[in-house]
Structure formats: structure tokens, C-alpha cells
Structure 1
């Protein structure tokens, strides 16, 4: 049976975020992401974090209405709340991981959360970050994407370089190309076919699908 875990963190959230949940998903609330789920009538299977961004009353609700609550000291911890939730989710060996509310006004946190995708990639677990306008994933092998609502596609290397990039179904083709960190060659391509194919020979490639 397909097992998907969705992590809700305390970044930008809205009604759009709830539309991604299905009844079979395991829900993890990281810090204030847990209270967001609860306020929307949902029960986090796990709530995790230092909970320094929730009130005492909200913390009481989290403990009462979550399947399991894992709290830690806000000072004596090695990971952000989102990374704690992410590592816990990886240990549960899902088929797919979805991160919602992990992008926001703190660019350092947003960038760190994008880098978390590398941990899932190492374990062969499909993972993606979604907000209202973007879907971000990391690939290291040939992958096919449906166009859906995201026709704009940008490619950015997360490793020093990515080699053997060949695109099919895109407005601007690449054939056995190499992208190196610092280049903008892969920005703002357009998926013109109903499905596009991205071939990668070596390296880790961020695929950012966007809509305005």
C-alpha cells in the first residue's frame, strides 16, 4: 500500500495547503504547523518541535488533539523543527514525503528546507516541497513530469555540477548538457507537452515547477 507522509511546518500556509491532504496520509505537524492542522479540524498523527511559536493554550490543544507529541528544548537541539520532523518521517520509510509550510519570510530556513530534499534523495524516497505557486523536488535519475498547473520549469544544480541533462517536451531543449552551480541557463523553461522528461546522468538537480 502506498504510504505518504505530509509535514506541515509554520511557514506560509493557506486553504490551498489543505487541498493536498488525502484520508490515507500520515500528518506530521512541526511546531506551529501542528496547531494549523488542529485549527482546521485535523488531527496530527505526530506533533514535533520546541513549540516556541505557540501559546500555552495552543500547546495544550496540541497535546490533547495529536496522536503523539514529541517536544524538545528550544536551546539544546541540533536541528530545526522541520528537520526533526523530516528525519522522523524518513525513519518511517514512506513511499513519498510532502513538505508544506516550509517556505516563508526566513530565507535561511527556506533554503535549509530545500536542502533537506537531499536526505530523501539519498534514501530513494520521493520528496517534494509545495507552496501556493511552486512545487520543488530533487532528482538524480531520469524522471517524467506531468504539466498540470505548473508549466514553468526551472532546473538548478544542487551538486557542484549535473551532467547528461536531456529534456523532452520542453520549449527550450537540452541535449546531454551540463549545469554548474552559479549558472542560470536552466531558469524559466516551459513544459509544452502534457508530460515532460528530464534525463540526468550524474548529480543532483533541483526541479522547480511554478505558476504565477
Structure 2
């Protein structure tokens, strides 16, 4: 699926905002209850997969019959979350980009685990992002241009033990060859002064979180 964008819809917090992130030519993956969300809004998942322990038998039957491909597994005898199963499938397709919708929610453990999936994508050279109503999250390991879009704030947090050589261009609060270490809040709540900015770095994995209140 080179040249394609894969949208994974999973079972966290979803709303009408998510529909605006789905494009006509996207490959749609439904993870557990995320598959039901797609179907309820008129979309046909290319593949639906998971243990489906968060849907009723009737909803499961609908997901099974409305998906081009359906894969289920035992909810007890499995090692991966439904979202990671979907993410691994998406990585195997070698797309240009993977977007995770519904990957954040009330379960902080699942939310954090899903953020960590971005590291796996980055290390395999696949651009990935998590999007919800108020945030867009990516992980970078090289110099990257960032578009401001509709977001008011941008925060930088290390996902590796440290990130070195961080230099910011076009930001209200500049950094020059800075090092960020796990546990520091120096990179929180910066602002892009223009429509785009540049983040340079030398080593490490950096979480870039764009947000709006």
C-alpha cells in the first residue's frame, strides 16, 4: 500500500471530530469498538480486528458482515492490545502514513501504550500520528517542519532517555542545541510564531504534541 494512508479507528474517545480526519482514499482499519464506529457512520472497514470484548453479540455480527476482512482473537490468550494488533497490520502494509483515531481516552494505560506505538512506527520509517479533538501527536528522530494549523500550543517531550541538539526556528521560546531528558518540562507549551516552524535535533526520539484548549 505504498502511497496510501491508513486510518486506524480504535476504542478510545471518539466523536464527530474524527469524521473530518477520514479521506475518501484512506484505507480504514477498525480495532475492536472502533470498527463499529466506522460502520455506524457509513464506512466499510478494509479490515476489522481485535477480541471485540467491548461490543455486544449483535454488534459483533454487524461488524463481521460489514467488513471486507474480519479477524478476531481470544480476549484472554493474546499478548497485544487490539490497537497494537491493528498497528502492526498497518505497518506491514508499508503505507506513507498511519493515523490513529480513538487512541486516547479515559484509560491512561492504553493511551500511553498507544503513544509508544508511534515510536515503533518512527523506527520503521513510517510517519504516524495520533489525533483527537484537541491534540495531534507525532514522534520525530530527525529535523522536521511543523505546521501550526488550528493548534495553539506545541510541546516537546523526550520519548528516549534524552534528546540532544534541539534547535527551534519560528517558535516564541527558542532553543539552541538544547538537551531534553526524561522528567523535564522545559519543552511544554511553546507557540509557533508563524504558520510553520522547524525543529532540528541530533539524537533521540522526540514527542511533538500540538494542542488546543
TM-score range, shorter chain: over 0.9
Gaps of 5+ in 2: none
Q: How does 1:1-212 map to 2 (within 5 A)?
A: 2-212=3-213
User: How well do the aligned residues superpose, as a CA RMSD in angstroms?
Assistant: 0.7
How many residues were matched structurally?
Answer: 212
CA distance in 2, matches of 1:95, 1:2: 5
Instruction: Give the deviation of 1:151 after TM superposition.
Output: 2.7
Query: Which whole-Å deviations, capped at 9, do the CAs of 1:8-36 have from their partners, x for residues lacking one?
Result: 00101000001011111000000000000
CA distance in 2, matches of 1:182, 1:16: 32
> 1:167–1:173: 8 Å Cα contact kept in structure 2?
yes
> 1:97–1:125: 8 Å Cα contact kept in structure 2?
yes
Query: Which whole-Å deviations, capped at 9, do the CAs of 1:102-142 have from their partners, x for residues lacking one?
Result: 10000000000000001101111000000000000000000
CA distance in 1, matches of 2:120, 2:185: 24
Is the deviation greater in 124-133 or in 1-10?
Answer: 1-10
Taking structure 1 as the reference length, the TM-score comes to 0.99
Gaps of 5+ in 1: none
Query: Which whole-Å deviations, capped at 9, do the CAs of 1:58-90 have from their partners, x for residues lacking one?
Result: 011011100000100000001000000000100
CA distance in 1, matches of 2:128, 2:152: 20
Query: Which whole-Å deviations, capped at 9, do the CAs of 1:89-108 have from their partners, x for residues lacking one?
Result: 00010000000001000000
> 1:151–1:192: 8 Å Cα contact kept in structure 2?
no
Taking structure 2 as the reference length, the TM-score comes to 0.98
1:88 alignment partner, SS class: helix
2:176 alignment partner, SS class: coil
CA distance in 2, matches of 1:151, 1:164: 25
> 1:151–1:209: 8 Å Cα contact kept in structure 2?
yes
